[in-house]
Amino acid sequence: MKINPKRKEKFLRIIDRCIQKGVLGMPMDPEREEFWQTIARSTIKERCKAIFNQELLSDVKFAVCSKGGSGSKTIPAHKFVLAISSPVFFAMFYDEMAERDCVEIPDCEYESLLEVLRFIYSDEAKLNPGNVMQVLYLAKKYMLPSLAHKCSVYLQENIDSSSVFHVLPQVQKYEEIDLLDCCWKHIEDETEEAVKSDGFLTIERSVLEELVERDSLNVKEVELFKAVDSWAKIECEKQGLKTEGSVKRRILGERIVKGIRFPVMEEKEFASVVLDSGILSHKETNDLVKYFNSVPNTSLEFSQENRKGSLVRRVYRFSSFLEGWKESSKFCDVIGLSCDKDINLCAVRLFGNKGKEYRLHLQIQSDGSDLIRSKDAQYLPRQIKSEMGSYPGFDVMFKPPIALKANSKYWLIADICGPPSWYGKGGQSCMHCSGVTFKFYNLDGMAQRVKKGQFPELLFTLA
């Protein structure tokens, strides 16, 4: 088809002005007969992506808060594109009475709405921990099930102990069943770490009630009680109440208190932690003291059964942590270990540095150099709270766990690529944890003091 030269010249001038104003992102070749719709944009998806967040042809604007609530920003959009993607937008723009050229969105931030619109125009969204929950909320609000599914998958792949209690309440609200199951599964597998997170202290009492009644938690009962007691103290402070035992008991309610399995604690744990909290009544305390001392016919209102979760235990190697360990491209971090009982190795923890990314090749070998397991991955460290302090690090999980036999020697070999990390000092050659004795070795094979380096913690279960 021949194009009128004058019409072509006029149209090219319009396109040129659009490019200069930033309306179109791709430069035009004035010698070509194709216009912006056809320059490297052979599909409707590519053409929609070209007009995303552009003034060209837009007929509506969204006014939304910028991050931090400092003023508002606008996003240009196209009613037709929105309407064919969302029944909510269809009703908003094409009802008989619909006459809206500017829509104010008060319940989200600019960055989150931008990703929702990006998905509508391109089936793509740049999700990250800071925006995914708000994007999920908007996907539900505007009836975009494909985007909601994308958010759910992202969360399932990225959820960890530090975030799970922040995610759980909103997942319950949105009725995302698969994601809800994923949250509870993570809480059950990593209970001890999850209940020590900041997010745990913000949960609703209904969530705490459900938590303490779960039979498959992986946590020592005394650690679960410490977390519950801390939650009660925070709630008292929020309400301006005294943090004394009777008040905490009222805040917790009977369902939570009766969900703690005090009889499975060691007597020393009960005496040093529970008694001082003041949460139990005088009669309950007396009955439990009698139970610990095997007084016959002692009646208890608390479950005497251990939880069925396979408790994940942690053995720590270092007495202190420092920053400045340089990862070498020529040398691997290596440590040998043996234990006097059969265990299942669930994970190895490594040091990193906050906000830095690391590439890792990890091998587990027997003393005869037989490869047992290897793993390649990229990791972004998070802040880990341990009995020895807080440090940036990451977990290398083994699914299924690796069965380590008693009195056999194994080697952990980590080839880490990345910027300088933290490291441990004051490492011990022999550690005792949950009735298991661990010995750590240097490359020379001697069970000598392993002073500093990587591998701060091993996570394991008893076989």
pLDDT in tens, 118-134: 999 999 999 988 889 89
The pLDDT assigned to 39 comes to 61
The pLDDT assigned to 49 comes to 85
Q: Which of the four pLDDT bands, split at 50, 70 and 90, describes residue 172? A: confident
Q: Using one digit for the tens of pLDDT, what is the confidence trace for 403-455?
A: 999 999 999 999 999 999 999 988 888 988 877 899 998 876 444 446 788 99
Q: Using one digit for the tens of pLDDT, what is the confidence trace for 289-327?
A: 999 988 888 889 999 887 877 677 889 889 888 888 887
> Residue 15 above 70 pLDDT?
no
> Residue 330 above 90 pLDDT?
no
CA 376 centroid distance within chain:
20
User: Stretch 51-76: mean pLDDT, rounded?
Assistant: 81
Q: Which residues contact 166 (CB under 8 A, 6 or more apart)?
A: 133, 199, 202
Q: Using one digit for the tens of pLDDT, what is the confidence trace for 133-142?
A: 899 999 999 9
Q: Which of the four pLDDT bands, split at 50, 70 and 90, describes residue 230? A: very high
Per-residue HEC secondary structure of the chain comes to: CCCCHHHHHHHHHHHHHHHHCCCCCCCCCCCCCCCCCCCCCCCHHHHHHHHCCCCCCCCEEEEEECHHHCCEEEEEECHHHHHCCCHHHHHHHHCCCCCCCEEEEEEEEHHHHHHHHHHHHHCCCCCCCCCHHHHHHHHHHCCCHHHHHHHHHHHHHHCCCCCHHHHHHHHHHHCCHHHHHHHHHHHHHCHHHHCCCHHHHHCCHHHHHHHHCCCCCCCCHHHHHHHHHHHHHHHHHHCCCCCCHHHHHHHHCHHHHHHCCHHHCCHHHHHHHHHHHCCCCHHHHHHHHHHHCCCCCCCCCCCCCCCCCCCCEEEECCCEEEEEECCCCCCCEEEEEEECCCEEEEEEEEECCCCCCEEEEEEEEECCCCEEEEEEEEECCEEEEECCEEEEEEEEEEEEEEEECCCCCEEEEEEEECCCEEEEECCCCEEEECCEEEEEECCCCCCCCCCEECCCEEEEEEC
- In the numeric block, which tokens belong to residue 92? 């908003």
Of the ranges 21-30, 222-231, 253-262, 403-412, which one carries the lowest mean pLDDT score?
21-30
The pLDDT assigned to 448 comes to 40
What end-to-end distance do the CA atoms of the chain give, in Å?
Answer: 77
User: Stretch 271-286: mean pLDDT, rounded?
Assistant: 94
> Residue 148 above 50 pLDDT?
yes
The pLDDT assigned to 225 comes to 96
Say if residues 103 and 92 touch (Cβ distance below 8 Å). yes
Of the two residues 88 and 174, the one the predictor is more confident about is 88
Q: Using one digit for the tens of pLDDT, what is the confidence trace for 279-299?
A: 999 999 999 999 998 888 888
> Residue 174 above 70 pLDDT?
yes
Sign of CA dihedral 115, 116, 118, 119: positive
The pLDDT assigned to 260 comes to 96
Whether cis (ω within 30° of 0) applies to the bond prior to 5 is: no
The pLDDT assigned to 5 comes to 60
- In the numeric block, which tokens belong to residue 253? 């309610």
What's the pTM? 0.59
**Angle at the Cα of 184 from the Cα atoms of 178 and 187, rounded to 5 degrees:** 140
Distances (CA, A) of 410 to 43, 209, 444: 56, 42, 13
Beta bridge partners of 60: 77
Q: What's the rounded Cα separation, in Å, for the pair 36 and 94?
A: 28
The pLDDT assigned to 441 comes to 87
* Nearest Cα to Cα of residue 323 among 417, 421, 394: 421
- In the numeric block, which tokens belong to residue 413? 């070999």
Of the ranges 81-95, 155-169, 231-245, 444-458, which one carries the lowest mean pLDDT score?
444-458
Of the ranges 21-35, 248-262, 409-423, 441-455, which one carries the lowest mean pLDDT score?
21-35
